[in-house]
Amino acid sequence: MIVDLPSTDTSAVNRTMVDLRESAGAVALGRVLTLLIITEDGPEAEAAIQAANDASREHPCRVLVLARGVRRAASRLDAQIRIGGDAGASEVIVLRMYGPLADQGGAIVVPLLLPDAPIVAWWPGEAPSVPAEDPVGSVAGRRITDAASAKSPSKALGKLRQRYHPGDTDLAWSRITSWRALLTAALDQPPHERITAATVSGAPDSASTDLLAGWLSSRLHCPVSRKNEDVPGGQGGQIAAVRLDRASGPVELRRLDAKSAVLSQAGQPDRRVALSRRTTRECLAEELRRLDPDDIFAEALEAMPTGRSRSSSRKVTA
């Protein structure tokens, strides 16, 4: 069901939600969080809503979409309420803001937040320079950005590192979950030798490659090099390979195509493993599983390689 409310206000939206609850059943009950999506009006907004709808099947929530329209238009708020089959396991309220109202999202969302429920803010497109200080981001306990949507993903992730606040995260982190899991599983097998050096290869401007190098540096406490290497045909993402050096021989995980990679270890036959690129829906659902600050992400972000050498060596006392 879709209900349009042109030229409206938040009081009218709240009244309509109450009426829908009485006529169509419990609409707002059983929601575990409020997801704020801050985006530009248009195809980008619809793509983000679809990803949120899919993720809501794992995390029932109220989705508030702040779709910023034309700034030169007269000040106006158009709302659209989506429930039932048009909203997955969530309820979606799309707020299209025009004119000066387009930059007042922080004040608009407050009356529509679920009481006593955690708040997560997500910028699927361009994010503010300091998400925690943004009018909308300041009301959220978790703030999700996506460096891949920036003109320069590596620079965008670097800026996030400089202005990081507990609760910040980026979809580049959840995109490397499969890589982290496979590498961890490989090192869980004997011989349990110390890793002396690591090399991460990927596209020159790949935020996920940078973050994977940072994660290895923060976990292994060894020198980590970041090399530029394009994935043939862009198959499966932006990371090409990871090599971990140890006394008995290297461990190497190299992408073969969009869905698989080969894992090589000294003294063992090469193994082909599943390694599909994760969708936005999968990454968003993973980020919504935790509502507290992600300390491991913060350490990986801090340890990312910088400068011309694109290498990182971090010494940490256990």
Q: Express as a percent the part of the chain with pLDDT over 90.
A: 75
CB 136 within 8 A of CB 106: yes
What integer best gives the mean pLDDT of the chain?
Answer: 90
Region 26-36 average pLDDT = 73
The model's pLDDT over 185-196, given as tens digits with 9 standing for 90+, comes to 999 999 999 999
pLDDT at 307: 55
pLDDT at 20: 85
Q: Parallel, antiparallel, or unpaired for β 33-40 and 61-68?
A: parallel
Q: Above 60 in pLDDT, residue 84?
A: yes
pLDDT band at 284 (very low <50, low <70, confident <90, very high): very high
